[in-house]
Amino acid sequence: MESLWARAGWVGSVYGDWMHIRVAVIGAGSWGTTVAHLCAHNTETVLHSRREDVAAAINSDHENPRYLEGYKLHPGLTSSTDLASVVGAADLLVMGVPSKGFRDTLRDVAPYLRPWVPVVSLAKGLELGTGKRMTELAEEELPGHPVGVLTGPNLAKEILAGNAAAAVVAMTDPTIAVRLQDVFSSQLFRVYTNQDVIGSELGGALKNVIALAAGMADGLETGDNTRAAVITRGLAELTRLGVAMGGEAATFAGLAGLGDLIATCISPQSRNRYVGEQLGRGRPLDEIIEEMNQVAEGVKSAPIVCELGRIHGVSMPIAEEMRAVVEEGRSATDAYRGLVRRPATSEHAPD
């Protein structure tokens, strides 16, 4: 069956068909479920879950008891464990799986995805071993499909509770980005467009490492001054690397950069901040990860970010200390001592 996008030639006026677009969201974690919930307000949406019990609960009780217990989902949202049927009917594929399994999942969906269907990533991480962004993986595994990212300061439970929020949908094709605004937006969830896919995606991936440091500041009870300094210098750090990798500086001052960084560094709901906080309290990393049922991307990203910094000649002092904590077992106290010992230079000079 020909996709809506192939019929429209990507850029044609498709308003007549637009209200009937079918969205497939792959990954029934907290954020994938929330995005599916948002899409269901606007168009037909199916959420793929690997777990029969989760799919059944969404269909019968309009709730995801594994990740979002007590939060009601849009009654029009349906769920299925049948990957072939979910993907095969999609006019838009939204990838809500963590970075660790992103490439394998792309390979799983490839046989069923029709030509030209856009692929939007929700993941905020980098591939182990290659350091590649998720849209790069999508371009490799699903050639010929327009790819993009939905990102920003978005905490799933706050959105499901009805609180206002904003995000960015970044696509190199601005016409598709504008179309996707209508799919993801709601009265209280405002979606902006951005053509800087690289910067938007890197902002979401790099901030997780800084959130570990901010959480450590809380765990060590260093105070708000320290946390503010970590967030501010962390923004400078991720902006330097992001620009060196092809992103635009303005993107890192917006929702995908500063906005996401603040939310991840200060919210008690942030998994990365939580891991950092527990490390600051002296708990072993393995013990912290074991008790969590979701992924804290910053733990895996810290070594990758440092390697990217070396490749691009960018100093990453905060990321280097976080790498030492997660890879070498350095204590949170020693990590902060390492940062304090660094000589102060001009605020706008590379560290």
Domains and CATH numbers, the chain: 4-195 (3.40.50.720), 202-341 (1.10.1040.10)
Q: What are the pLDDT digits (tens) for 300-343? A: 999 999 999 999 999 999 999 999 999 999 998 988 887 766 66
Rg (CA), the chain: 20
Per-residue confidence band for 290, with pLDDT thresholds at 50, 70 and 90: confident
pLDDT of amino acid 337: 83
Of the candidate ranges 132-146, 160-174, 253-267, 329-343, the one whose mean pLDDT is the lowest? 329-343
Residue 207 designated active-site: yes
Cα 310 to Cα 317: distance, rounded to the nearest angstrom:
11
Q: How far is CA 304 from CA 125, 174, 256, 301, 325, in A?
A: 10, 30, 20, 5, 14
Q: Decide: helix, strand or coil at residue 180.
A: helix
Query: Given 72, 124, 132, 207, which residue is catalytic?
Result: 207
Answer yes or no: are the C-beta atoms of 39 and 45 closer than 8 Å. Answer: yes
Alpha helices in 185-316 (DSSP H): 197-219, 224-244, 249-252, 260-266, 271-280, 285-291, 297-311
> Strand pairing partners for 101?
none
- For residue 15, pLDDT beyond 50: no
pLDDT of amino acid 13: 35
Q: Which amino acid is at 325?
A: V
Q: Decide: helix, strand or coil at residue 97.
A: coil
pLDDT of amino acid 8: 44
pLDDT of amino acid 12: 38
Report percent pLDDT > 90 for the chain.
81
Q: What are the pLDDT digits (tens) for 100-125? A: 999 999 999 999 999 999 999 999 99
pLDDT of amino acid 196: 97
Question: In the predicted model, what is the mean pLDDT of the chain?
Answer: 91
Stretch 64-74: mean pLDDT: 96
DSSP letter at 101? G
Say which residue, 172 or 42, is predicted with more confidence.
Answer: 42
- For residue 346, pLDDT beyond 80: no
State pTM to two decimals: 0.89
Q: What are the pLDDT digits (tens) for 207-220? A: 999 999 999 999 99
Q: Decide: helix, strand or coil at residue 23.
A: strand
271 token code pair:
């998994």
Of the candidate ranges 55-69, 168-182, 267-281, 283-297, the one whose mean pLDDT is the lowest? 283-297
Q: What are the pLDDT digits (tens) for 240-279? A: 999 999 999 999 999 999 999 999 999 999 999 999 999 9
Stretch 4-20: mean pLDDT: 46
